[in-house]
């Protein structure tokens, strides 16, 4: 089993992470984040192959029914092309765990068979010491997804870290957060208020917050607990309400990510009156 998984890791070493950089305005089908539980896949001695549950924060202003399909990509030769059929011929479909969720289990027979059949450098992978060092450092597995809502379709990629237990147990996702809008009361059209995630928790590992809205404007897409020089920084941003009370309530989101792949989010309606 471990030898087969090692072959899969070597294939993934040739790939590059794909991180979709989106703007804060949500006007159509979007995938704002994908959470993995746990956020890392760690190979523990004599514990079998690791697994994780993937859940997408897939949103659409029309509240259309959304489904998301996931696949482990098997054709990784560089930065993935936007047209890479994964899910599709270039991927191993992951079993659904709900409308926007799937289960990635490295003990899945389809994944094990693929890893076992992989041939590298003209011959079958022989389990050399190089893969052990790669696993100790951590390597990236590429996962593709396809989100659908009515006639809309959105394709994208994310990466998960697969590593040994040399650096300790798997990381954990941040604690659930809330999003405070202004002082919590009604907001007038054109009014500017703060959007503040709470609680932010400790800053180890460092966290980055991303903000999204279906209406109005946000002063900055992201905030962080500390600046690049290590100084404390405010995690709030400003949001300006639309010019008039919208017929459909404005929805606001905050997503928190840490450097070990942990992800959490919150959604709140904007109380515009």
Interacting residues of 218 by C-beta distance below 8 A, sequence separation 6+:
24, 195, 211, 212, 237, 238, 239
- Domain 2-164 shares a fold with domain 178-269: yes
The CATH class, in words, for 2-164 is mainly beta
Q: Is the pLDDT at 23 greater than 90, yes or no?
A: no
CA–CA dist 92, 85 (Å, integer): 10
**75 CB-near residues (< 8 Å, 6+ apart):** 84, 86, 90
SS (H, E, C) the chain: CHHHHHHHHHHHHCCCCCCCCCCCECCCCEEEEEEEECCEEEECCCCCCCEEEEEEEEECCCCCCEEEEEEEECCCCCCCCCCCCCCCCCEEECCEEECCEEEEECCCHHHHHHHHHCEECCEECCCCHHHHHHHHHCEEEEEEEEEEECCEEEEEEEEEEEEECCCCCCCCCCCCCEEEECCCCCECCCCEEEEEEECCCCCCCCEEEEEEECCCEECCCEEECECCCCCECCCCEEEECCCCCCCCCCEEEEEEEECCCCEEEEEEECCEC
- Of 118 and 100, which is predicted with more confidence? 100
Structure token digits, residue 202 = 């400790």
* pLDDT score at 18: 42
Q: How many CA atoms lie within 13 A of 154 on its CB side?
A: 22
Please report the pLDDT score of residue 5 as a whole number: 56
pLDDT band at 217 (very low <50, low <70, confident <90, very high): very high
- The domain segmentation of the chain, as residue ranges, is 2-164, 178-269
Closest CA to 28 of 144, 156, 152: 152
Phi and psi (nearest 5°) for 22?
A: -110, 155
Name the pLDDT band for 272 (thresholds 50, 70, 90): very high
pLDDT for 196-215, tens place per residue?
A: 999 888 777 789 999 999 99
List, for residues 141-200, the tens digit of each pLDDT value: 999 999 999 999 999 999 999 999 998 888 899 999 999 999 999 999 999 999 999 988
- For residue 126, is pLDDT > 60? no
Contacts of 180 (CB under 8 A, 6+ apart): 194, 195, 196, 197, 198
Q: What is the pLDDT of residue 4?
A: 57
- The whole-chain average pLDDT of the chain stands at 86
The fold for domain 178-269 equals: Immunoglobulin-like (2.60.40)
Question: How much of the chain exceeds pLDDT 70, in percent?
Answer: 85
* Count, residues in the chain: 273
Q: In the numeric block, which tokens belong to residue 84? A: 């890479």
* Residue 25 reports pLDDT greater than 70: yes
What is the reported pTM?
A: 0.87
Q: How far apart are CA 195 and CA 183, in angstroms?
A: 10
């Amino acid at each position: 089993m471990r030898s087969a998984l090692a072959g899969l890791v070597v294939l993934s070493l040739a790939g590059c992470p794909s991180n979709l950089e989106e703007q804060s305005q949500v006007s159509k089908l979007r995938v704002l984040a994908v959470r993995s539980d746990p956020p890392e896949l760690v190979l523990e001695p004599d514990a079998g192959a690791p697994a994780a549950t993937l859940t997408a924060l897939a949103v659409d202003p029309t509240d259309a029914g959304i489904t998301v399909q996931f696949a482990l990509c098997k054709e990784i030769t560089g930065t993935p092309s936007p047209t890479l059929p994964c899910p599709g011929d270039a991927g191993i479909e992951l079993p659904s765990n709900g409308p926007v969720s799937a289960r990635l289990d490295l003990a899945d027979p389809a994944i094990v068979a693929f890893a076992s059949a992989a041939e590298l450098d003209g011959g079958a992978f022989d389990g050399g010491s190089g893969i052990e060092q790669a696993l100790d450092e951590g390597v990236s597995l590429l996962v593709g997804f396809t989100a659908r809502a009515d006639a809309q379709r959105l394709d994208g990629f994310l990466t998960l870290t697969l590593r040994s237990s040399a650096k300790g147990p798997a990381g954990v996702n941040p604690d659930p957060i809330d999003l405070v809008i202004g002082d919590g009361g009604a907001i007038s059209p054109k009014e500017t208020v703060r959007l503040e995630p709470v609680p932010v928790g400790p800053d180890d590992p460092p966290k980055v917050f991303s903000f999204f809205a279906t209406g109005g404007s946000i002063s900055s897409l992201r905030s962080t607990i500390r600046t690049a020089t290590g100084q404390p920084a405010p995690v709030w941003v400003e949001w300006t309400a639309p010019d008039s009370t919208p017929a459909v309530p404005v929805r606001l989101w905050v997503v928190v990510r840490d450097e070990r792949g942990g992800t959490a989010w919150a959604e709140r309606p904007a109380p515009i009156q």
